[in-house]
Amino acid sequence: MKTRTAAQKLVTSGRVRVNRERCTSASRQIVPDDVLTIGLPRSVKVLRVVDPGERRGPASEAQLLYEDLSPPPLPREQRGDEPVRVPRPDKRQRREILKLRRPNAAAFSDDGDA
């Protein structure tokens, strides 16, 4: 979590579980070997607490306080979160589309009269 406020919102919304029990209070105490399951918008994080820590410090120290047990992310092909990109039509294809939409339009004819 980037901020305490964002973490608190996740907890109060019911997306955090401590040892498989839903947690709705951000003030809940955790102890070593507690397992936190956090439901994020596109993934699930599973963390085991190694040590609760003594102080609020840098991220490099915080990463030593937990063990990440999350499942590995799915490959891009299986995620399905990216939209399928359709190539844009080129100039000739756009003119063909316009002919189909307006069959009587002489301005875009291929015979060179326009």
User: Whole-model pTM?
Assistant: 0.60
CB atoms under 10 Å from CB of 22, counted, come to 11
Domain containing residue 38 = 4-70
Is the same domain home to 10 and 48? yes
Number of domains in the chain: 2
Residue 49 lies in a domain: yes
Q: Tens of pLDDT along 30-68?
A: 899 999 999 988 788 999 999 988 888 888 998 999 999
Is the same domain home to 92 and 65? no
- Per the model's pLDDT, the better-predicted residue between 3 and 2 turns out to be 3
User: What is the separation of C-alpha 106 from the centre of its chain, rounded to a whole number of angstroms?
Assistant: 49
pLDDT of residue 53: 87
The secondary structure of residue 41, as a DSSP letter, is S
Residue 78 lies in a domain: no
pLDDT of residue 21: 92
Judged by DSSP in three states, 22 sits in strand
Interval 2-15 mean pLDDT: 86
Is the same domain home to 106 and 53? no
Residue type, 91: K
Q: How confident is the model at residue 27 (pLDDT cuts 50, 70, 90)?
A: confident
Q: Tens of pLDDT along 63-98?
A: 999 999 998 877 777 766 667 788 999 999 999 999
pLDDT of residue 114: 47
Q: Tens of pLDDT along 95-113?
A: 999 999 887 755 555 555 5
